[in-house]
């Protein structure tokens, strides 16, 4: 793993769980258009698909990093 890997130490399950908590399944299914987020979604079925599908995993990881950057930006705005 590269030293600059922002996802180092974060499990795929934690990423999916946090994205679902932030966006909800319907919005997550719009952001990353894969069936496991749109039709009868669950963390378990999503993990199974994402572990076998590199392009989908990359999209999910990218959305996660974007969400984290936005959260940090919002937190900085709220600081006095």
pLDDT tens digits, one per residue of 50-79: 999 999 999 999 999 999 999 999 999 887
Please say whether the beta carbons of 16 and 45 come within 8 A: no
Tell me the CATH number of domain 12-78, given options 1.10.720.30, 1.10.12.10, 3.90.1150.10, 1.10.10.10. 1.10.720.30
Confidence (pLDDT) at 4: 62
Q: How far apart are CA 77 and CA 59, in angstroms?
A: 27
Predicted structure pTM score: 0.87
Cα–Cα dist 32/47, whole Å: 14
C-alpha–C-alpha distance, residues 46 and 33, integer Å: 12
Contacts of residue 5, defined as CB under 8 A and 6 or more positions apart, other chains included, come to: none
Q: Is the pLDDT of residue 22 over 70?
A: yes
Name the nearest CA neighbour of 68 among 3, 14, 30: 14
pLDDT of residue 5: 80
């Amino acid at each position: 793993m590269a030293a600059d890997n922002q996802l180092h130490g974060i499990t795929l399950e934690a990423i999916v769980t946090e994205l679902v908590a932030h966006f909800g399944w319907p919005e997550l299914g719009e952001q990353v258009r894969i069936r496991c987020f749109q039709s009868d979604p669950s963390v378990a079925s999503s993990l199974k698909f994402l572990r076998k599908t590199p392009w989908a995993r990359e999209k999910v990881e990218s959305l996660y990093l974007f969400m984290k950057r936005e959260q940090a930006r919002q937190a900085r705005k709220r600081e006095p």
